[in-house]
Amino acid sequence: MANKIAILNGPNLNLLGNREGDIYGSIGLAEIEAACADECERFGFELEFFQTNSEGDLVTLIQDAGAVCAGLIINPAAYTHTSVAIHDAIRAINIPVIEVHLSNIFARESFRHHSYVSPVATGTICGLGPTGYILAIGALATQIPEEQ
Ligand code: DQA
């Protein structure tokens, strides 16, 4: 548990690489997962990596991470801007949570400027593309107490 972290990805992130390349780039989610796995190895973290298009599944995965993981990274995608359920799920767990967005949500449409997740996240990284996930793993390493 002390060395396990979860990375959760929300709706449409399975389409990365083919989706709005001008905004999200050409790197697919499998490539991001592989880079995250390498980075986790550096820190001695065991990685659970998920993508789902369903809000309810994200809530369940957040609850599960709270029970068995030492830290959580989440890109809730569009649910960032709509989901009280995800906000509440994050409030209900007691592990550090880093919110990640590939794009700079504040430089886009105004409906993306509000996040239900940011007020309950430990920290937020946005606008740095896939590098944001790598930085979030390093950030979690500073937040998770070392195993005794
Ligand atoms: C996103 C930003 C969201 O506004 C959008 O709905 C996404 C992806 C990002 O990673 O930049 O699907 O979370």
Instruction: Give the distance (Å) from ligand 1 centre to CA of residue 147.
Output: 34
Report helix, strand or coil for 124.
Answer: strand
Does the structure show a pLDDT above 70 at 27?
yes
Q: Give residue ranges with CB within 6 A of ligand 1.
A: 12, 75, 77-78, 80, 101-103, 105, 112
Residues recognised as catalytic: 24, 101
65 within domain boundaries: yes
Task: Look at residue 1 and tell me whether its pLDDT is greater than 80.
Answer: no
Give residue 143 CA to ligand 1 midpoint distance, Å: 24
**CATH no. for residue 90?**
3.40.50.9100
Calculate mean pLDDT across residues 94-101.
Answer: 98
Average pLDDT of the segment spanning 77-86: 98
Does any domain span residue 63? Answer: yes
Instruction: Answer yes or no: is 135 within a domain.
Output: yes
Would you say residue 44 lies in a domain? Answer: yes
24 occurs within a structural domain:
yes
Stated as kind and residue range, the H or E segment containing 143 is: helix 131-143
User: Is the pTM here over 0.85, yes or no?
Assistant: yes
Check residue 146 and give its pLDDT. Answer: 77
| Smallest CA separation from ligand 1 atom 13, residue | 77
Instruction: Tally the domains of the chain.
Output: 1
> Percent of the chain, pLDDT > 90?
95
CA–CA dist 35, 100 (Å, integer): 15
- Domain range for 65 is 3-143
- Which residue has the CA at smallest separation from atom 1 of ligand 1? 77
Instruction: Average the pLDDT over 94-104 and give the result.
Output: 98
Is 131 inside a domain boundary? yes
The answer to whether position 148 is within a domain reads no
